[in-house]
A and B are shown apart, each in its own frame.
Chain A
Amino acid sequence: MSSSSRRTACRGRLGLGLFDCAFGEFRIAARPIAKLKWRLMKSGRCDQHRLPWNCGMPKLYHGTSRAHATAMCGSPNHGGTINVWQGGGEFGRRFYAQSSISNAHRRGYLTYGGQNGAVLVLDIDDVPFHALRFWRLTLNRAQQLNAQLTGVARSSFVTSDDVIIGPLVAFPHIEQQKFQTQNAQNLLNGPETQRSVV
């Protein structure tokens, strides 16, 4: 089986959230999610904190300024105003979130100042979240991609996937999510995501 067809099979069979830790993208596809989670936690390679969707609802964080966070949070009646076409990071242009609340707080505080920094918390319904199309990166793949993206490539790189998930290259213990498409934006701004600012 070629690697591309294996990846397709992986996406088709999974469509589910799972932290891939040190495993390859393709080995995950062959294992039932619950069993794999259990194995990862038992082996100490993963813990509860590294699985943002462990409790069902994926909880993601975006450290930014209070003005940005409040604007993106929007209102329950009108939804959020997150624009996934803005922002940038290790996997190119678009909107990023991460699994670490403390790291998100540090980014907000240290970049925008003590009183201006804040964190946008995204509590996403697990079913629509897992219905998105993911590209899950191993650490090696994340490092390769980050190294490839220089200059214009970094400001323009996107794929057709709704979300790219992978470790932070600069600190792989933390996972990041890059939201890329209108589908992803609709979910983040819609009623299936609870947005709050802390």
Chain B
Amino acid sequence: MFVHSLVKLTERSQHGWRAPVELGDAAPQFISFVVPLGTDNEFLGEYTCEIARITSHGRSLEARKLVKAGSDSFVLELSNDKVWFHVRGVGRDERRLPYIGKLRHDDFQGMLTEIEPEDSSKLDSLCEEQSLFVVGCDPEKHYQDAKSEKSGTSIPAQAPPTPDAKGLVG
């Protein structure tokens, strides 16, 4: 199972996750880190997490492991660094949400829980110093029916998805 990068939103009274690639230009500024739960609704011991390295030829992907370390903490080990994540503190009704988009991936069968970096500036440091950023699961590579068709050449004056009841933008 993978770490995923998804957007929380409410659509047609359904509350859940969708992939930014489905939203195109309307994707919000922040994209959440999300992990799927096992059949028993518990976290797995480890997840695959893809890291993108910025090179002069574009981006190259590397697979790493996000390992569970404690009841609600995870650690992503990089070559000479580590980044800690924990389960995001949200209301009980928001803690486990389904994927409500149209793309297909095995991990989307069950519920998904948001995790967040303990120190978000660490991710910026990685980007600036080592040209790395966390992708999670590359949609083009792993999601069936993923298309980047919304990456057109015009920026529509389009509103982002409807915010949910608690004012969190999806």
Q: B155: which A residues are within 8 A, CB to CB?
A: 64, 68, 83, 86-87
A113 and B151 in contact (CB under 8 A), knowing A106-B134, A169-B169, A170-B28?
yes
A124 to B141, CA, bound (A): 36
Please tell me which one of the listed residues A50, A116, A143, A150 contacts residue B121 in the complex, with CB atoms under 8 A apart. A50
Q: B11: which A residues are within 8 A, CB to CB?
A: none
Residue interface mask B109-123, A partner, CB < 8 A = 1: 000000010001101
Q: Is A179 an interface residue (CB 8 A)?
A: no
Q: Is B67 an interface residue (CB 8 A)?
A: no
A171 and B116 in contact (CB under 8 A), knowing A106-B135, A116-B148, A144-B167?
yes
Chain A interface extent, by class: 35 or more
Q: B166: which A residues are within 8 A, CB to CB?
A: 147
Q: Is A129 an interface residue (CB 8 A)?
A: no
A89 touches B160 (CB 8 A): yes
* Closest 7 pairs between A and B when the two form their complex, measured CB to CB: A147-B167, A49-B121, A113-B148, A102-B123, A112-B151, A102-B127, A155-B159
Interface residues of chain B, those whose CB is within 8 Å of chain A, are: 5, 8, 19-21, 23-32, 52, 54, 58-59, 61, 116, 120-121, 123-128, 133-135, 138-141, 148, 150-151, 153, 155-160, 162-163, 166-170
Known: A64-B155, A174-B29. 13 other contacts (CB 8 A): A49-B125, A63-B29, A65-B151, A87-B157, A90-B163, A109-B133, A109-B135, A110-B27, A115-B58, A146-B163, A146-B167, A151-B162, A174-B30
